[in-house]
Amino acid sequence: MADNPVAAAIPSQRLLQRPLQRSGVPASLFAVCFALACINAAFFPAGLSSGIWIWGADGLGIPTDFVNVWAAGKLALQGHPALAWDWDVQRQVELDLLRQDFPGYFAWHYPPPFLFVAAFLAQFPYTIAFAGWASASFVPFALAMRAIVGRGFGLVLAAGFPALFSNTLVGQNGCLTAALVGGTLYWLPVRPVLAGICLGLLTYKPQYGLLFPILLIATQRWTAFAAASVTAIVLALGSWMAFGLESWQAFLHWLPMFSQAFLTEGKATWWKLQSLFSLVRYFGGSEALGWTFQWVLTAAVAVVLVTLWRSPVRYSLKAAALAVGLLLTTPYLFMYDMMVQAIAVAWLVRIGLHDGFRRYELPAFGCVAALQISFMLTGIPLGLAANLVVGGLVLARAGSWWRRQPVRTAAALATA
């Protein structure tokens, strides 16, 4: 199989063109996305000025996830990068910054290459670093959404995606993760080297490292596989040179403890996680039962994706399926990670804008948004349900994808 079977039939540049604009953006879809985008755009500046975001009205720092990024970066700048993984040392830096105590830990658990980002951000005052990271990381995400959707509405969809609120509120990296997943999938058929570079950069999120290699091997996309491998190796070597071998030793030493704390003891509380594993634990199931359900789902998703990706189904559906599959197969999934779901939705919207939306699709998108918003309001873990809805939309569009179908015409593939 060729590295790029679609591009073999048509000029690669045509794949990067937007789909033919056969239908406009439905008024209801635009209205909901625009309203949510306005809420996101208005809340955070207002929250910063009123003392409900980053800093409280009492002048003390609000404990959120971003504090561990800034603290890890500060330790790296001070010449002690390996101490970023030491929970007690990391916590003391956070306490000094926020000037108040808080329960539990905001622990640093990322691989050493992500210290490059943390160290850069820690050069700035905390407020500038926090707000700047939230703004800057949104840009590549918005551009990926614009490219996938194929028209300006992609920017509105990006700004109005409900999980963006959760991600920005705590200063997490969901936008960057979604941008890298989106970039990988957008460039894979036409620019495999760029796709591989995006995938290599995504190694800061190891939980997404299962499905991509399987599908690249299954579809013989060796260029992208090699580019991703080289990028990952260069990042690892660069972090080794910059932060020392001790940083990798600390990461590997603390990783089992982190897994024990969050996936065995539930230190982050089960309702915050959105995976099948955490849902089983949320309802009182044992760890063994949770892992059994999770691994069965992971195996099923992997089989479905390999079959789908080796079928003649249009690429947009393959990309959407992989994006949502990434979320279904990891047990460690917070609401800010649901930003990746926006990539799957963007591919489905691309198809809808080209072929027309089916009657059930817009209500289903509304259901997905409602499930995410409900979690923010109630704390009930509904992310798995939202992912299953998106996965169902993908399979419904794909039809009888497991059967042999005639290969679509070059013109149809160009707009798929």
Residue of 288, 336, 314 lying closest to 394 (CA atoms): 314
Residue 413 has pLDDT above 70, yes or no: no
**Helix (H, G, I), strand (E, B), or coil: what is residue 52?**
strand
Residue of 72, 44, 60, 56 lying closest to 97 (CA atoms): 60
Query: Is residue 4 in a domain?
Result: no
Tens digit of each residue's pLDDT (9 = 90 or more) over 349-363: 999 999 999 999 999
Record the pTM.
Answer: 0.91
Query: Is residue 1 in a domain?
Result: no
- Compute the distance between CA of residue 298 and CA of residue 316 in angstroms, rounded to an integer: 22
Query: Is residue 198 in a domain?
Result: yes
CB neighbour list of residue 67: distance below 8 Å, 6 or more residues apart: 61, 94, 97, 98, 106
Residue whose pair of structure tokens reads 């050069």 in the numeric block: 123
Residue 203 has pLDDT above 60, yes or no: yes
What is the extent of the structural domain holding 228?
12-414
Query: Is residue 338 in a domain?
Result: yes
Tens digit of each residue's pLDDT (9 = 90 or more) over 315-343: 999 999 999 999 999 999 999 999 999 99
Q: In the prediction, which pLDDT does 261 show?
A: 85
Tens digit of each residue's pLDDT (9 = 90 or more) over 239-286: 999 999 999 999 999 989 888 888 888 888 899 999 999 999 999 999
Tens digit of each residue's pLDDT (9 = 90 or more) over 282-299: 999 999 999 999 999 999
Residue of 348, 381, 380, 340 lying closest to 364 (CA atoms): 348
Q: Are 353 and 25 in contact (CB under 8 A)?
A: yes
Residue 380 has pLDDT above 60, yes or no: yes
Query: Is residue 179 in a domain?
Result: yes
Residue of 212, 186, 217 lying closest to 200 (CA atoms): 212
CA distances from 254 to 80, 104, 325 (A): 16, 16, 28
**Helix (H, G, I), strand (E, B), or coil: what is residue 334?**
strand
Query: Is residue 3 in a domain?
Result: no
Query: Is residue 266 in a domain?
Result: yes
- Compute the distance between CA of residue 107 and CA of residue 104 in angstroms, rounded to an integer: 9
Residue 406 has pLDDT above 60, yes or no: no
Percent of the chain with pLDDT over 90: 84
Q: How many domains does the chain have?
A: 1
Average pLDDT, the chain: 91
Residue of 301, 259, 262, 294 lying closest to 280 (CA atoms): 294
CA distances from 111 to 47, 176, 202 (A): 32, 15, 11
